[in-house]
Structure 1
Amino acid sequence: MPKVASPLGGIKSDLLGENALKLTTNACFGVMVIAVVTLTVIAVTYQPPDPWLQPSRFMTKIFTAVENATYQKDGSILITGEDVPGGIVTGAAAPPAISQSDVQAAEELVLSKVTDGVCDPNSMPINCSDPGVMIAIEKANLDKFPDIESFEYGAPVRGSDETECDIAWKFKPKKENSVRMYKDYRRYKLQLEPSCAYAVLDAGDWHSGKNARPQKFHGIDVNDSVPAQIEADDSFRKRKYLYYSRGGDYCKGMSHFQWSLLCALGEAQYLDRTFVLDLDLCLSAASNPGHEDEKVKDFRFYFDFEHLMEAASVIEQKQFLKEWEDWNSRHSGDQITYKVVSDFKVAPTQLQGEESTILWRTFELPEPDNYWYRVCEGEAEKVIQRPWNVLWKSKRLMNIVNSICGSLGWDFDSLHVVRGQKAQNKELWPNLDADTAPEALLQKLKDKIDEKRNVYIATNELQPGYFEQLNASYKVFVLDDFQYLWAPGSEWYSETTALANGQPVEFDGNMRAEVDSEVFMRGKKHVETFGELTFDCKDGVHTCKSS
């Protein structure tokens, strides 16, 4: 197992002296520790019920209690703060969305200031700076996109001709619990009515208003760069840190990694310490079919590091190690103090009074005792709350999700078709292959989705054009229809390449599953595989739960 080198030497010898001191003090402090722990448990017992304080086995019930059951139950969707009811508690509420009444009041105010009250519909060019233009666009967006909430608008600018205006605006899907905003910039064709109100004749496609696109510099929309080292000489010493060495969680599935990371962040929060975050992840082969485990994948490919820095006290690991080493090299007589904890059974409650600058947990035992989440088991479950609100999905991936939804006009139905290895295994899933064939799907969808609707199919079927036959009744889209959103030249490609020091980044299996599932959940109707398209059991024959 890889170990992170310490800037300091002699750790083991220091621990021997430390352990000897513990033997002489445990007898004095034992009774007091037991009393404190007992009072803590009693206090927690009388707090209102909180699902995130429950043991791990209860989390499955929470994750499977939402509408997207197939994804949730087979672990192919990554649950983060956006998806958890009550998980978005950041201290900053979202501003109120623009409503029809807001727009109507603004329009009445603008029209009341028109002196003659008569306008020529043929007058050109359209004055994009007229307040009535923005009002007309706001009204059109409220009518066209009932499933999203609009917020702040930029100043309208001239489009491609004298009848058009481009405008940038912020929005968020109504179904998304997150308070974060996304940006669109569209082109609108307008007309001035005889009443002097403006009317939108046509709204362009997603990101069609290129003249209103903000100047694109890396870090404006997504600012997840690692903060520069603070120059103040004593800045590093002012904080206390919780440092987890890499354990057996490395190269496990993303949900496993997340469960462990949230445990570590919860302990840091409980101990009021800054957590040392390693941005290097390992993508498990299980999450990326056709590949081996891939090490040194950037945390920021999958999670919103910018939000994490705002919502929690964290420091990037490389910066932390450098500042630790720099301090000790400058202050030979005043070395940074640290305490090594090598047993996950040492509960956070036992470390509350620790005065060392660095609390360093190591995970060197065999699996599964080297998993980070073991720290939050047992006694710790009663006091450590996993801070779901600090961990959001990567904004870059969510921008792709919203780009796809925007391309479909936010008006589509969703179909989840599980195939892959399950469809090939006739012993465990004898009917799945036939039940998810295009001919069968056309028959099954007749009573579920109206003809001619846009239908987004989230699937692990890799054969190109497999669902082409469904276009006889629907307008069918799959993830690969939108490859331009991550292809060379796209924003995602440019920004992830910059994060990877100039090396192109593969749009891997975990990213695909994350985007696929998020688009699926934004559909107006949802049709699942198990229970709707096939009566095979999700986990194989004889595993269906009796009703």
Structure 2
Amino acid sequence: MRTAIEKFSDLHFYRFGRPVAVPGSPMECDLAWRFRPSEDTNGRTTYYKDYRRFTLTRDVDTCTLVVSNVGEYHSGTGAKRSGRRKGKKGKKGKREAPVTDFVPAKTQMRLDENAANADSTAASEPVLVIGEAVNDNLPVVESESDFSRGKYLIYMGGGERCKSMNHYVWGFLCALGEAQYLNRTLVMDLNVCLNSRYTATGKDENRDFRLYFDFEHLKQSASVIDQSQFWTDWGKWHKKDRLKNHYTEDIKVTPMQLRDVKDTLIMRKFGDVEPDNYWSRICEGETEAVIKRPWYLLWKSRRLMEIVSAISSRMDWDFDSVHVVRGEKAQNTQLWPNLDRDTSPDSLLATLNDKVGAGRHLYIATNEPDKSFFDPMKSKYRTHFLDDFKDLWDENSEWYTETKELSNGNAVEFDGYMRVAVDTEVFLRGKRKLETFNDLTHDCKNGVNTCPASS
């Protein structure tokens, strides 16, 4: 533990697990810990988990054991909690053992304070832990009586399918907000249509909601049920228990007007005419002041965030980042007359000169397809790109194995939306972050004459 604390000076440690012996190797052990980066400013209580293999040797002079080597990120597989966590909703997993007293007194005091602060914070707000086993099994209604006593809301049809992911999220959170307002369980379709802009085939494709979002957090924090499971239960019990369905196709029917509906199921059916069939229309007008979209319920998939954690760990959580937008915008000189020049390697080096020290790890989040374009920057910085870490999602990775299991044995593409999500999250963890349209160029993000007026 002392070695870990000294080696990773940019991390704040909160919990250590018990050391685990490595079978057949008496001078090695695996150890897990929970930590936060020293400059984690994402606005959410987020902890990360790592487990590494430690190699020990005996000092010939003092005859004491010393650590001679610390393995790479997640190398201590013996300390990993195996399999998906199981248990009922809200049940807490086993906590790691607290630190022991061989850590130096000053360090022990800092760890104790961190752990106390972590516990008090966790009691007041949701906590995201990256590195724990994920339990995203579908929630199941355990009995007929539980199902029949429940109240449900479902959105059917609509223009959200196959649009951008932002469009989908905007509509989905409206549905979730209405369900909460009505004190009903949201019946949700876990099949998300991924727009062709994100897929390798260039065609719209169905994907699992859990590939992109933290379903475990959602089902623990809100009342949701999978659509297919719901219709199976409805088919078994609705006639027997005389369950009623309140049906409406009119988007002008507000959640406030549905507040007193007693029927088991409220079904909103959306037509084919866009934009009047967007789910988000329900939250417009007078409803906007009543229903607030519950953004805090929708977190990125922890499997994607695990990749973010791994990339950051390989740079020792001590790196700077720059977001470089090029692509079609750099080619369109009518709307972005300076962007191509301002994002050239020479201009980037000049801009970064007084902001990022030479020799620093520099993560470059970019849509530039030819990464050799940035080769001149290697003379001053240790540059990194998303594809430098593709072993984290290739066929030998944990991500590949777990997502394949989630998809009934079908391999999952690390698609364009996942790439953008991971690229953005790594960028945000840089100690110094430089944005294209705030720091690299005076061009406006949306083209000429669209910059917000200065205050």
Band the TM-score falls in, shorter-chain normalisation: 0.7 to 0.9
Determine the C-alpha separation between the residues in 2 that align with 1:538 and 1:463.
22
* Alignment partner, residue 110 of structure 2: none
Determine the C-alpha separation between the residues in 2 that align with 1:197 and 1:412.
35
Map 1:363-374 → 2, pairs under 5 A: 363-364=270-271, 366-374=273-281
SS in 2 for 1:234: helix
Determine the C-alpha separation between the residues in 1 that align with 2:9 and 2:312.
11
Match of 1:188 among 44, 47, 54: 54
* Alignment partner, residue 459 of structure 1: 366
Amino acid at match of 2:217: H
Structure 1 residues 353-406: Cα deviation after superposition (integer angstroms, max 9, x where no partner): 111000011111511111111111122112212222211110000000001001
Structure 1 residues 98-139: Cα deviation after superposition (integer angstroms, max 9, x where no partner): xxxxxxxxxxxxxxxxxxxxxxxxxxxxxxxxxxxx4x2463
TM-score (norm 2): 0.82
CA contact (8 A) 2:81 2:133 kept: no
- Report sequence identity in percent: 48
Cα distance, 1:300 vs. partner? 0.6
CA contact (8 A) 1:145 1:410 kept: no
Determine the C-alpha separation between the residues in 2 that align with 1:376 and 1:368.
13
Is 1:380 aligned to residue 247 of structure 2? Answer: no
* Alignment partner, residue 322 of structure 1: 232
Is 1:239 aligned to residue 106 of structure 2? Answer: no
SS in 2 for 1:251: coil
Gaps of 5+ in 2: 87-131
Is 1:175 aligned to residue 41 of structure 2? Answer: yes
Match of 1:222 among 134, 142, 158: 134
CA contact (8 A) 1:413 1:454 kept: yes
Is 1:426 aligned to residue 320 of structure 2? Answer: no
Cα distance, 1:499 vs. partner? 1.8
Structure 1 residues 393-426: Cα deviation after superposition (integer angstroms, max 9, x where no partner): 1000000000100111000000111011111212
Is 1:252 aligned to residue 163 of structure 2? Answer: yes
Map 1:466-485 → 2, pairs under 5 A: 466-485=373-392
- Relative distance call for 1:502 and 1:218 in structure 2 (3 A) is farther
Farther off after superposition, 533-542 or 212-221? 212-221
SS in 2 for 1:466: helix
* Alignment partner, residue 280 of structure 1: 191
CA contact (8 A) 1:417 1:528 kept: yes
SS in 2 for 1:168: strand
SS in 2 for 1:361: strand
Determine the C-alpha separation between the residues in 1 that align with 2:6 and 2:21.
18
- Relative distance call for 1:291 and 1:423 in structure 2 (3 A) is farther
Determine the C-alpha separation between the residues in 2 that align with 1:200 and 1:176.
34
- Relative distance call for 1:196 and 1:263 in structure 2 (3 A) is farther
CA contact (8 A) 2:238 2:244 kept: no
Structure 1 residues 265-322: Cα deviation after superposition (integer angstroms, max 9, x where no partner): 1111111100001101111234x27654423211011100111000000000010111
Amino acid at match of 1:223: N
Determine which structure has more spread, i.e. the larger CA radius of gyration.
1
RMSD of equivalent CA atoms: 2.5
Match of 2:210 among 290, 293, 300: 300
CA contact (8 A) 1:456 1:520 kept: yes
CA contact (8 A) 1:289 1:509 kept: yes
CA contact (8 A) 1:282 1:293 kept: no
- Relative distance call for 1:145 and 1:301 in structure 2 (3 A) is farther
Determine the C-alpha separation between the residues in 1 that align with 2:339 and 2:141.
55
Determine the C-alpha separation between the residues in 2 that align with 1:337 and 1:145.
61
Structure 1 residues 151-191: Cα deviation after superposition (integer angstroms, max 9, x where no partner): 33221134696655320122344323334543211133567
Cα distance, 1:214 vs. partner? 3.4
Determine the C-alpha separation between the residues in 2 that align with 1:200 and 1:140.
12
CA contact (8 A) 2:161 2:168 kept: yes
* Alignment partner, residue 313 of structure 1: 223
Farther off after superposition, 502-511 or 156-165? 156-165
Cα distance, 1:498 vs. partner? 1.6
CA contact (8 A) 2:161 2:193 kept: yes
Amino acid at match of 1:207: H
Determine the C-alpha separation between the residues in 1 that align with 2:63 and 2:306.
37
Determine the C-alpha separation between the residues in 1 that align with 2:283 and 2:146.
30
CA contact (8 A) 1:218 1:495 kept: no
Determine the C-alpha separation between the residues in 2 that align with 1:275 and 1:197.
60
- Relative distance call for 1:379 and 1:544 in structure 2 (3 A) is closer
Structure 1 residues 424-479: Cα deviation after superposition (integer angstroms, max 9, x where no partner): 21222222222222233222221121000000000111114332221111100000
Structure holding more strand per residue: 2
